[in-house]
Structure 1
């Protein structure tokens, strides 16, 4: 048995997967499973995958069981353009109003709650719904969409206020926000070290090849797959941060601090365990 890899199906994490030699990995026994963030989170927590790109919030919930792979994340320093609060009224008028939430990502749901509580001092009523903007806004004053759902909705969201959560976070903290990280279950570190190093290097190589190509191949693929323009997709990928350094860590730890203070996390997170057994 070799490693089972969880792959989030959203565009924003695809630079790590687009240039993988999938037939070769499968031939060597690696298994790749694709799903939305919430279900990939569950699969890693349940042990049905060994390594995955997961919501940053999910890492905090299982910090004692996971280690993060170095220099891999989906982050932004400012706008992210795929995490939007769509609102019928200005954000500071949402107090005591209803907000519909997507169920797709714990990180972004709690980021929105932190932003509204900590930065705007708003109390709102939340309800989780399927990610359909029109249906969400039939019964709510605002709606949160993420990932590809948010990108599609933003194209036709006329007469609505749109708030980019990455931009709001950066405006109020001056810190980057990491939405997804790559985590590995700790029991794999010693039992599958060679396989872990191989898949880690494959993810790094895919990221580097995508970047050196200026994300052209990815941009063409998503223009055909989801619409929009090539220029939009290229600038979208170029705007994201795909590393995980000390500044990312500071931003994520501050997010965890606020999440704990507001009761979204049951335990305080003071450090992030990063896997270090990487050979050149």
Structure 2
């Protein structure tokens, strides 16, 4: 009898590649059905039951009836993250409207929180649709996340990194996405093997960086993986996650 594979969905961005590399190289690969999607779609699939394991934006966690974080690794940052930023032609204080990237509610909630509590600047939020980056101009700024941010620092005069702002606001690192399961029957053996596979993927970063093409001529993959993305879900990040989720559950204005 063929054992049913566990359905897994993960973020499709560059920052997930080292983790996926570890999973695909491990013996677990035969026990997983792996799909990739933008963060918001990963959250939807996990919440709907279409996936039982997901690397999902942490803002979805309060909406899950039952869940468990199953890994010591995440998509996080301890300061500048480089690929979650507000861009604009004018300083933030002069922005009257900001597009909110529809790819991840975690980044949207973080932007709202920082604008309210850290920058203390009121703007009108605009729902972003495909192509919205071309409409960032004048006093209209935009939150952009993931691989689409690469090169935008050359296009827009003002860039506000949300990882940096959160660190300055709280003194804490940040967790953008975590490995979560909604399956209470996932075995401890599976979880241990899963964690080992992720660690081994990160251990092979030097080799992976040779295999992956850089998305832009002046984009340094090594610098991105080692100085901007912090994959350890350590005590500081768990504290930050608890603090951020308290904002989410309090119901920031939408």
Q: TM-score, normalised by structure 2?
A: 0.88
Partner of 1:276: none
User: Matched residues in 1 for 2:123 and 2:79: separation?
Assistant: 24
The answer to whether 1:233 aligns with 2:221 is yes
Rate the CA distance shift 1:17–1:181 in 2: closer, same or farther, 3 A: same
Partner of 1:115: 114
Partner of 2:237: 248
User: Matched residues in 2 for 1:179 and 1:77: separation?
Assistant: 11
1:200-243 CA distances to partner (integer Å, 9 max, x unpaired)?
33223212332xx3xx52365141xx22346x111010012101
Q: Which of 4, 15, 33 does residue 31 from structure 1 map onto?
A: 33
RMSD: 2.4
Count of equivalent residues: 250
**Offset of 1:50 from its aligned partner?**
1.1
Q: TM-score, normalised by structure 1?
A: 0.81
SS at the partner of 1:121? coil
Partner of 2:14: 11
**Offset of 1:25 from its aligned partner?**
4.5
1:71-127 CA distances to partner (integer Å, 9 max, x unpaired)?
111111110000110022212233xx1111110001101100000001122221111
Rate the CA distance shift 1:131–1:162 in 2: closer, same or farther, 3 A: farther
Q: Name which of structure 1's ranges 17-26 and 125-134 shifts more when overlaid on structure 2.
A: 17-26
Partner of 2:104: 105
User: Matched residues in 2 for 1:172 and 1:195: separation?
Assistant: 38
User: Matched residues in 1 for 2:18 and 2:160: separation?
Assistant: 25
Rate the CA distance shift 1:178–1:58 in 2: closer, same or farther, 3 A: same
> Structure 2, unaligned stretches of length 5 or more?
none
Partner of 1:167: 164
